[in-house]
């Protein structure tokens, strides 16, 4: 069996999160031949993998978004049928096109993105969009906004498609479009496994973004919802990490009968074997997270600062790579400004198992998550958690259905004072931490083992092959 795994902005270029998940996923199925079809931001990263690829990865096909910017305008003319023009207009208007028709325009008709964007047909469609949606915006602003959406999309649709028996995309967005491409071109099954709801995450980013002109934010949000809808409608099976995520997928248009929940799993024995830290008079807190805005490291630092004003015997370790170097430098500077350099330790990318031995509990301050592996690993190691109320965190820490009860504390995202209150609460009682840690370990033992997760994903491959 040849499975084409489609990833965007993660494995094999970066550590942590989805990348760690994917590396262990591939290694756990040595009998399956995997092809990687991966999307990166910059062509300068070509071949620069931070992982040694497992032996069962037979091919890697790399696509870089900045290569789309190198596409030159062309004056080649094409003759389009009425249905092709209608569906292209729906794409430009962020509607709901027939994606089989769109794929065939680029794959069978071999329409080139640079020629299409220079065509009279494209300009006519754009004028209609301007007249109906952007009467009071400068035409040049609308042109450049729409072009910046369409150029990478058309570039993706023009890619050569690797052959596989199953196409398995780990997100919607551009990665999802590659999945649709493989599904339509080679008429093979498509599986979508979302770790977070991609379109909702992009919506949150766009709302906060400075690079998007306010009048076009709605259009960018509609664009990513259009890409998600394409995958939801074309996929044979769709999985999510927890029930609320599945409900969101269905709400956004995914067919209910195609949607499954497959929770994450960790190497339980590996983390369960980590000894507890002895009481040395300090409370040591671990934060296993990439240095990136979506992890909201700054709120964590501020909350720890408030905690340290009341409790002198606390230390914070931040474990993770500099995913965003500029943001990482801002975090380092914040620690210096707050005079926390002796209490906040940035370790970079390290062995989490070794460092877990130092911790009394762990924290997560993200703005958005799916079902974080760092929380599951911490619980498996008998370390309770303080997290933000994102993704599946509340379910992991407060689920009453399995009888294990509360194994951590929850705070609203980006609320430093509330978060500090929960940190202080967790620091205040070693006995309570040990009790929550023991019960949290049992929760992972019974419901979040890696081998069970792999078995469930294998069942998806079996289903679509039948």
- Taking the C-alpha atoms of residue 257 and residue 263, their distance in angstroms, rounded to an integer, is 18
Q: What is the pLDDT, as a whole number, of residue 352?
A: 93
pLDDT of 466 over the 80 cut: no
For residue 315, the number of C-alpha atoms closer than 13 Å in the C-beta half-sphere is: 15
Least confident of 55-64, 90-99, 105-114, 120-129: 120-129
Per-residue pLDDT tens digits for 392-403: 999 999 988 899
Same domain, 141 and 203: no
What is the tens place of the pLDDT at every residue in 21-36? 999 999 999 999 999 9
Same domain? 19 vs 53 = yes
Confidence of residue 213 (pLDDT cuts 50, 70, 90): confident
| Together in a domain, 194 and 87 | no
- pLDDT, tens digit (0-9, with 9 covering 90-100), for 384-428: 999 999 999 999 999 888 999 999 999 999 999 999 999 999 999
Q: Do 223 and 253 fall into the same domain?
A: yes
**Whether residue 253 is found in the same domain as residue 305:** no
Q: What pLDDT was estimated at residue 300? A: 98
Q: Is 14 helix (H, G, I), strand (E, B) or coil?
A: coil
456 assigned to some structural domain = no
- Residue 36 is part of which domain span? 2-70+159-261
3-state secondary structure of 5: strand
Q: Specify the DSSP element, H or E, that contains 40.
A: strand 33-40
For 34, list phi and psi in degrees, rounded to 5. -110, 140
Question: Does residue 275 have a pLDDT over 90?
Answer: yes
465 domain-assigned:
no
Q: Dihedrals φ, ψ of 456, to 5°?
A: -70, -40
Residues 35 and 4: beta-carbon distance below 8 Å: yes
**Spatial contact of 6 and 170, defined as CB atoms under 8 Å apart:** yes
Tell me what pLDDT residue 209 has: 84
For the residues 193-207, what does the mean pLDDT come to?
91
- Partners of 433 in the beta sheet? none
Q: Which pLDDT value is given to residue 259?
A: 97
Residue 49 is assigned to a structural domain of this protein: yes
Domains contained in the chain, number: 3
Note the pLDDT tens digit of each residue in 443-464. 999 999 999 999 999 999 999 9
Q: What percent of the chain has pLDDT over 70?
A: 100
| Shared domain check, 302 and 182 | no
**d(Cα 9, Cα 397) in Å, to the nearest integer?**
29
What is the distance between the alpha carbons of residues 36 and 25, in angstroms, rounded to a whole number? 13
Helix axes 450-465, 18-27, angle to 10 degrees: 70
Q: Tell me how far CA of residue 450 lies from CA of 7, 43, 268, 304, in angstroms.
A: 20, 33, 7, 32
Whether the predicted pLDDT of 136 surpasses 80: no
pLDDT at 248: 95
Percent of the chain with pLDDT over 90: 83
Mean pLDDT of the chain: 94
pLDDT (0 to 100) of residue 140: 84
Are 279 and 336 members of one domain? Answer: yes
Give the model's pLDDT for residue 432: 97
Residue 411: CA atoms inside 13 Å, Cβ hemisphere, count?
25
Return the H-helix or E-strand segment holding 376: helix 373-380
Average the pLDDT over each of 104-108, 338-342, 366-370 and give the range with the smallest value: 366-370
Residue 464 belongs to a domain: no
Residue 128 lies in a domain: yes
Distance of CA 353 to CAs 103, 272, 356, 445, Å? 46, 10, 5, 17
Tokens 């762990």 correspond to 362
466 within domain boundaries: no
Q: Tell me the HSE value of 113 on the side-chain side, using a 13 A CA sphere.
A: 20
pLDDT over threshold 90, residue 11: yes
282-332, pLDDT tens digit by residue? Answer: 999 999 999 999 899 999 999 999 999 999 999 999 998 888 899 999 999
Q: Is residue 154 part of a domain?
A: no
- The pair phi, psi for residue 62, each rounded to 5°, is -105, 135
Look up the CATH number of the domain holding residue 24: 3.40.50.2000
Q: Are residues 443 and 330 in the same domain?
A: yes
Same domain, 238 and 286: no
Torsion of CA 99, 100, 101, 106, to 10 degrees: 90
58-104 per-position pLDDT tens digit: 999 999 999 999 998 888 889 999 999 999 999 999 999 999 999 99
Please indicate, yes or no, whether residues 429 and 355 belong to a single structural domain of this protein.
yes
Structure tokens at 329: 């430098």
Is 153 inside any structural domain?
no
- Separation of alpha carbons 250 and 265, rounded Å: 24
Give the 3-state secondary structure of residue 37: strand
Of 100, 122, 145, which residue constitutes the final position of a domain? 145
**Same domain? 273 vs 164:** no
Asked if the model's pLDDT at residue 17 lies above 80, the reply is no
CB atoms within 10 A of CB 150: 21
Contact call for residues 464 and 236 (beta carbons, < 8 A): yes
Based on the fold, state whether residues 319 and 187 are members of the same structural domain.
no
């Amino acid at each position: 069996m040849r499975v084409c795994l489609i990833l965007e902005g993660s494995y094999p270029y970066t550590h942590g999160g989805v990348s760690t998940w994917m590396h262990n996923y591939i290694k756990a199925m040595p009998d399956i031949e995997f092809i990687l079809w991966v999307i990166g931001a910059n062509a300068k990263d070509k071949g620069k993998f931070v992982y040694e690829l497992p032996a069962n990865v037979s091919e890697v096909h790399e696509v870089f978004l900045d290569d789309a910017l190198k596409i030159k305008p062309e004056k080649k003319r094409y003759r389009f049928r009425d249905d092709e023009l209608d569906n292209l207009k729906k794409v430009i208007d962020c509607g709901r096109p027939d994606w089989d028709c769109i794929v065939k325009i680029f794959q069978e008709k071999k329409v080139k993105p640079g020629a299409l964007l220079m065509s009279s047909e494209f300009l006519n469609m754009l004028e209609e969009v301007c007249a109906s949606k952007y009467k009071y915006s400068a035409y040049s602003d609308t042109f450049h906004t729409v072009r910046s959406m369409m150029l990478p999309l058309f570039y993706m649709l023009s890619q050569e498609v690797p052959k596989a028996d199953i196409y398995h995309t780990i997100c919607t967005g551009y990665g999802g479009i590659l999945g649709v491409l493989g599904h339509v071109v080679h008429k093979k099954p498509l599986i979508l496994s979302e770790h977070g709801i991609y379109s909702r995450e992009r919506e949150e980013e766009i709302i906060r973004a400075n690079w998007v002109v306010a009048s076009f934010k709605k259009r960018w949000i509609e664009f990513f919802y259009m890409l998600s809808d394409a995958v939801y409608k074309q996929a044979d099976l769709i999985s999510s990490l927890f029930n609320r995520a599945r409900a969101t997928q269905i709400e956004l248009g995914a067919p209910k009968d195609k949607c499954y929940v497959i929770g994450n799993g960790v190497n339980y024995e590996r983390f369960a074997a980590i000894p507890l830290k002895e009481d040395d008079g300090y409370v040591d807190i671990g934060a296993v997270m990439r240095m990136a805005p979506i992890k909201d490291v700054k709120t964590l630092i501020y909350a720890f600062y408030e905690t340290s004003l009341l409790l002198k015997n606390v230390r914070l370790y931040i474990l993770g790579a500099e995913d965003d170097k500029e943001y990482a430098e801002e975090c380092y500077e914040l620690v210096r400004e707050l005079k926390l350099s002796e209490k906040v330790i940035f370790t970079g990318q390290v062995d989490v198992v070794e460092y877990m031995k130092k911790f009394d509990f762990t924290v997560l301050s993200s703005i958005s998550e799916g079902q974080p592996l760092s929380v599951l690993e911490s619980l498996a190691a008998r370390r309770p958690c303080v997290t933000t109320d994102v993704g599946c965190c509340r379910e992991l820490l407060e689920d009453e259905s399995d009888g294990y009860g509360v194994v951590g504390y929850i705070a609203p995202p980006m609320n430093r004072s509330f978060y500090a209150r929960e940190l202080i609460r967790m620091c205040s009682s070693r006995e309570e931490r040990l009790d929550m840690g023991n019960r949290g370990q049992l929760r992972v033992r019974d419901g979040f083992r890696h081998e069970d997760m792999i078995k469930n994903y294998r069942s998806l491959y079996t289903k679509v092959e039948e």
